[in-house]
Structure formats: C-alpha cells, structure tokens
Amino acid sequence: MFALFLVAIATPAHADVRAAVRFGVLPLDLDASSDTPFFGDDLSRAVTSYNMAAAAYDREHGTSTARATTDDVAVHDTLLMISPGLELGSGTMFFRAELPLGFGSELRSVGLGLYPLNFQAHVTRKAALYASLGGQASKLDRSDMADDTGALLAARAAAGIRFSHALVEVGYNAFAIGGSVDSTQLDAMTVNRNAPPPRPDTAISAGEASGIVDVSVGVSF
C-alpha cells in the first residue's frame, strides 16, 4: 500500500487517476519437483526424510506405510482474490498498481502487483477495451503450518473491458512459482521407530506452473 501511495503522489496533478477494486478467483495448482526453483532442495529433503522414517517405522512394527512422492507436497488451492489498486492515465497507455489479497481454504496471501505496460482503446464513449502486462509478488501463509515462510511470484498478462465504472477481466499467468516452508518442522523430520512420521506436507508445500487462467470482475471510481 505504501508503494501505491508513492505512485500517487509522484503523479502529475493533470494525470487521470482512477481507483479500482477487482474481485476474482485464482485456481492455484503448482506442481512440485526437485527442480522447482527456490524450493527444490527442501521438497526433495522432505520426501526423502519421510520415506526413510516410514521405512524405519515399518521395519520396527511390521506395518506398511504408504511412501510419499513430490505430488504429496504440491500446492492445490483456490484463492478468492480482492485487489484494490490505482490506474494512472487516460490516454492509450496507462500505469496500474494493485494490492492483491488472497483467501483460500488453506492459503492466505498479501502482495503487490505492478503492470507497467497497459494499453486501452475506447470503443464507445463509456466502454474501453484494455490489455495489461506485469507481475505480482505476494507473501504466502498456510493455515495448517505453525511457523511457515512463503511467497508467490507470477508473471501475468490480462485483457478486459471497462464499461462506465464496471470491469471484467481475464488473466493469464504465464509463469507462477510459490510455496511455504516450515523450517522447524522440516528439521524435525528424523527417524523415530516408535511413532509414525509426520506427513511431508506439514513441513513444506510448493511448486510451479504455467498457463493459469483467472477471472475477475470489479469497479473503478
């Protein structure tokens, strides 16, 4: 929000400034692998530690515990997005900044979205088509992790229509990467023959994806 304030006060007084709020849905399905940027080593470590602990427990008690794969530590949630922001400029090109807030069944996010490239064309006196290109960076939290640190990064393009004060937008996330890590829980995943090991997704959940489509509606002032 501080960044939005700086943009606003740095804008010349004659510039057209619009406030906007968008409400949307973001299906967040991020696939995990040992090659996932930033998270790959911890993903592999969590799965390996769990499987070693499960094997030791099974040998001790004669049980058969299902082994984990990286699919078990992927990210699957749907976020309701609320994104207040500012749009600066009334000509063919304008600047856009927003504060995206996400609410899912397990995930919460708060971040900053910047769109330096925006183009619009008025089709009637009240209606305009627009396209935006930029990205978002958010802090990501999981409700089922006690002490996690997480982030979500996305390169995003969007196209929409503005009719009077109403907005309809479709977004395309060309690349997204994110996740949450509870380092304390990850370090605690050691062999304990007297108790079943905790699932690896209690320590980490992360991944990457491309081509995620989101839809939003909103209002501008």
**Domain spans of the chain, in order of start:** 2-8+22-220
Give the model's pLDDT for residue 88.
94
What's the mean pLDDT in 20-28? Answer: 98
Residue 6 pLDDT > 70 = no
**Which single residue is written with the structure tokens 């982030």?**
151
Distance of CA 111 to the CA centre of its chain: 9
Residue pair 157/213 in contact (Cβ under 8 Å)? The answer is: no
pLDDT digits (tens, 9 = 90+) for 40-56: 999 999 999 999 999 99
pLDDT tens figures, 102-128: 999 999 999 999 999 999 999 999 999
Give me the pLDDT at residue 12, please.
46
Read off φ and ψ for residue 5, nearest 5 degrees. Answer: -65, -45
pLDDT tier at 15, thresholds 50, 70, 90: low
